[in-house]
Amino acid sequence: MQTTFNKALPIAIGADHAGFEYKEALKKVLAENGWQVEDKGTYSADSTDYPDYAHPTAAMVESGEAAAGVLICGSANGVCMTANKHQGVRAALCWNEEVAVLARQHNNANMICLPARFVPLKTAADMMLTFLSTAFEGGRHERRVEKIAM
């Protein structure tokens, strides 16, 4: 059972154009908190398609190359849906710290999806750091998480 994330591995991060500015800021927050970061794009605010960045970010989590993942788009719905197509990825769309905590404690989420158009940057950063520092509780939740994969 995984309880916390391994800082020996990087955090994979990706965003579309709506999340680009947040991604750039969140990379700095991660680095300031001792995380290595693997940026999977986008690399500008030019209009782009979120799956082009959500898939490579989720693939790093799926393969174990990344400890966890962070995805950002306007609503976070598109990147969350895309990431959850990957086996072993449990991406959670979060809008406050309490949801981020529960996504880890109860669902053992390994990716956090942030809605740049609906939360302030500070809230996004706080959610991300809370998510990364919260342990999975296991116990009764373990059985439920095991039922997610088909």
**What single letter denotes the amino acid at residue 2?**
Q
Average pLDDT, the chain: 95
Residue with tokens 């500015």: 21
Q: In this prediction, what percent of the chain has a pLDDT beyond 70?
A: 97
The reported pLDDT for the residue numbered 21 is 98
Q: Which two structure tokens, joined as six digits, stand for 121?
A: 């940057």
Q: Which two structure tokens, joined as six digits, stand for 133?
A: 């520092």
DSSP 112: E
Q: Is residue 55 packed enough to be buried (19+ CB in 10 Å), middle (13-18) or exposed (0-12)? A: middle
Report yes or no on 20 lying in a domain.
yes
pLDDT digits (tens, 9 = 90+) for 69-109: 999 999 999 999 999 999 999 999 999 999 999 999 999 99
Count of structural domains, the chain: 1
Q: Which two structure tokens, joined as six digits, stand for 3?
A: 């309880």
| Residues taking part in catalysis | 73, 106
Report yes or no on 84 lying in a domain.
yes
DSSP 18: G
pLDDT digits (tens, 9 = 90+) for 47-63: 999 999 999 999 999 99
Q: Is residue 137 packed enough to be buried (19+ CB in 10 Å), middle (13-18) or exposed (0-12)? A: middle
Report yes or no on 33 lying in a domain.
yes
Residue 109 is part of which domain span?
A: 11-146
**21: β partners:** none
Read off the CATH number of the domain in which 55 is found: 3.40.1400.10
Report yes or no on 50 lying in a domain.
yes
Contact predicate 135/3, CB 8 Å: yes
Q: Which two structure tokens, joined as six digits, stand for 90?
A: 């449990």
The reported pLDDT for the residue numbered 1 is 42
pLDDT digits (tens, 9 = 90+) for 7-19: 999 999 999 999 9
